[in-house]
Amino acid sequence: MAKRVTRLGGLLAAYQRRDPAARSKLEIFLLYPGVHAVLWHRVAHWLYVRRHFFLARWVSQHARKKTGIEIHPGATIGRRLVIDHGMGIVIGETCEIGDDCLLYQGVTLGGTGKDQGKRHPTLGDNVMVGSGARVLGPFKVGDNARIAAGAVVLREVPPNCTAVGVPARIARVNGRPVSYADDVDQISVRDPILEELELLLNKIDSLEQEVKKTRHSA
């Protein structure tokens, strides 16, 4: 008979897969602020959807004080969200996060101040957002997408793609799904702007060589 995994058990297992420093699920449960922030959010969101807005905000502010992670009680969060380190993370009211996502410290899932109603991004399943990244606006970040550290994303990111730079541009990663447990790499991501600059420099070099040949033959 297959062993039934509870929602909390699945969350702790996700942290255990992700963090080689985690020695036990008990350590994760007691000492990891990302776990505490998500658990407090479950309570705050339960209150929020039942229109106990003041109590919901009180719980979320208490969690922010304890963990350094700010999650609006209106945000919708899927299963097994891993928040690594977590300090300085902000998740807005209308944000939606799918299953098996990974957020690093300093991430903002916010709005631009220009939209009404749905103001914050929607993350699909298995999305990774690198440290210090800003994802701003009511658009979709597709399944298996990656947001590189420090990127500022202002428009939709297709599935299986990586967004890099300020403002962010799309860099595809071999068209294959990314499993953050096995393939989390915020360093070895090619910057599409840098690639275009390199191509431009190569063209300039080729033109200079042609000019030199023309001068010699004249």
CB 110 within 8 A of CB 84: no
- pLDDT at position 186 is 54
User: 């700010």: which residue's tokens?
Assistant: 70
Which domain, by its residues, includes 207? 191-218
Q: Is residue 102 part of a domain?
A: yes
In the chain, the number of structural domains is: 2
3 pLDDT more than 60: no
Q: Classify 185 in phi/psi space as left (phi over 0), alpha (psi -120 to 50) or beta.
A: beta
161 and 218 in a single domain? The answer is no
Comparing CA positions, the residue from 171, 85, 91, 84 lying closest to residue 123 is 91
107 and 203 in a single domain? The answer is no
> pLDDT band at residue 168, thresholds of 50, 70 and 90?
confident
The pLDDT mean for the chain works out to 86
Find all residues with CB under 8 Å of 125, minimum gap 6, and list them: 78, 98, 99, 100, 101, 143, 144
Q: Is residue 16 part of a domain?
A: no
Q: Is residue 170 part of a domain?
A: yes
172 and 84 in a single domain? The answer is yes
What tens digit of pLDDT does each residue of 63-81 get? Answer: 999 999 999 999 999 999 9
State the number of CA atoms in the 13 A half-sphere of 194 facing the CB: 7
Q: Rg (Cα) of the chain, in Å, rounded?
A: 21
50 pLDDT more than 50: yes
- pLDDT at position 194 is 67
What tens digit of pLDDT does each residue of 102-151 get? Answer: 999 999 999 988 878 899 999 999 999 999 999 999 999 999 999 999 99
- Higher local confidence (pLDDT), 139 or 196: 139
202 pLDDT more than 80: yes
Q: Is residue 159 part of a domain?
A: yes
Q: Is residue 201 part of a domain?
A: yes
Q: Is residue 138 part of a domain?
A: yes
- pLDDT at position 6 is 84
179 and 141 in a single domain? The answer is yes
